[in-house]
Structure 1
Amino acid sequence: MKEDIIFISAVRNLYKARAGFAELANLKIISGNDNHIGDVGEYYILWYLKSVGEDVIISGKRNSLYDLENNSTKEKISVKTITTWSKNGKGAQINTDSPDWNLLYCLYLGKDLIPDKVAKIDYFEFSEQKVIKENKERRILTNSKSFPQFQWWEWLENYRDQDAESKIKEHFRDLLNGKRSKISKKSNITH
């Protein structure tokens, strides 16, 4: 619970800072940036999986293609996060050639940096999506190393994880509003 309080305080401060940076960018004083958003998404998924009893840890390798390791299921989990703050609607590239990760969580964060949407898709289903197949074909034909940038593709709607979405929203919105989370009370989550 202590980590959750520290985390939501950091999210609140990041929200305030991002609002200030967005205002500065609109005034053309800075170019604008998207730092730490990936960390926010990873924490949400780490928290959620732990809240449902999974034994999950942050990947020991900082430059690996996955972010979390689920010791309960042996899954290697990649987490991709984008916010409404993103002007072009795109995030970091997703390495689609390597099944080093076998599960992908996708988060779309609202302006308050609480998830509006959470999707979950396994590597094989992901690699069969049209945009991913077309990117692979283009890279083969052009010898390009450019992978697709993460965005909230329409087809991700079919993979929405309603349980993760609602639990994360409820828990962290309660904390953001200064309330004790009902989810923590119900499940006695410990970190």
Structure 2
Amino acid sequence: MNQVHPILSSQFRDEEVQAAIENYLQARKRILTLGREVPERFGGNDNIIGRIGEFISLRFLESLGQRPEKVPGTSNPGYDLVEGACRTQVKAITQENQRGRSVRLTPGWTQFLLIELGEHYTPARIGLIRLEQHQQAIADGISRTATPMVSLSMLGPRGLIGRYGRVFTGPQIQV
């Protein structure tokens, strides 16, 4: 039986880890460079998943006939995208997030878009709800606050977006 010496095996794994780190850092550097080159599509702060979520949101909303633009700067006032009076707040949650929760919704939005990034970091579900629909959920006692904690449960059949908004899956997601 051929066995690899534990020290040699550990060295190989260390080299593999080092290569993965270098690949990640190069990809991150490229993302930040692209953000500087096309800030209107991919700019923002150093939250890479947030940037990816905003880019997916732009393309998704464009597929629905909307024409949103990114809000300039790195700190936005309760929304990330704007089109006339429509102000869209975007949140993306990956499968890495074991609790499936993010931060609270920040006031100032008129449309909220929640992206579940599934396997291979591709959109598994996208939820979309307008402020009026959320206000109706509050009036109906389904949502208790104007600033709920964002979670993937919102996309389920009994969740806020599942009941009052719209959840897109599979071929419905055009990005």
Q: TM-score range by the shorter chain?
A: 0.5 to 0.7
What is the alpha-carbon root mean square deviation over aligned residues? 3.1
Q: Structure 1 57/121 Cα, relative in aligned 2: closer, same or farther at 3 Å?
A: same
Report 1:91-106 matches (<5 A): 91-95=102-106, 98=107, 100-106=108-114
Amino acid at match of 2:76: N
Amino acid at match of 2:67: D
**Count of aligned positions:** 124
Bigger Cα Rg? 2
Distance 1:44 1:161 in 2: 15
Aligned to 1:45: 57
Q: Structure 1 124/54 Cα, relative in aligned 2: closer, same or farther at 3 Å?
A: closer
Distance 1:132 1:167 in 2: 26
Aligned to 2:10: none
Distance 2:53 2:121 in 1: 9
Distance 2:166 2:149 in 1: 19
Aligned to 1:111: 119
Distance 2:171 2:78 in 1: 23
Q: Secondary structure at the match of 1:119?
A: strand
Aligned to 2:149: 149
CA offset at residue 163 of structure 1? Answer: 7.8
User: Does 2:166 align with 1:160?
Assistant: yes
Answer 1 or 2: which has greater strand percent. Answer: 2
Distance 2:123 2:171 in 1: 7
Distance 2:109 2:133 in 1: 13
CA offset at residue 124 of structure 1? Answer: 2.8
Could you tell me which runs of 5 or more consecutive residues in structure 2 were left unpaired when the two chains were aligned: 1-19, 25-46
Identity %: 20
Could you tell me which runs of 5 or more consecutive residues in structure 1 were left unpaired when the two chains were aligned: 1-12, 18-34, 137-146, 172-191
After the TM superposition, list the runs of 4 or more consecutive aligned residues in structure 1 that deviate by more than 4 angstroms.
none
Partner deviation per Cα, 1:44-64 (whole Å, 9 max, x = no partner): 110122234432100135321
Report 1:1-16 matches (<5 A): none
Is contact 1:85–1:111 with CA below 8 Å preserved after alignment? Answer: no
Tell me the TM-score normalised to structure 1 length. Answer: 0.54
Distance 1:58 1:65 in 2: 13
Aligned to 1:81: 92
Aligned to 1:57: 69
Partner deviation per Cα, 1:67-89 (whole Å, 9 max, x = no partner): 10024xx3111111111110221
CA offset at residue 105 of structure 1? Answer: 0.8
Amino acid at match of 1:90: R
Distance 1:59 1:52 in 2: 19
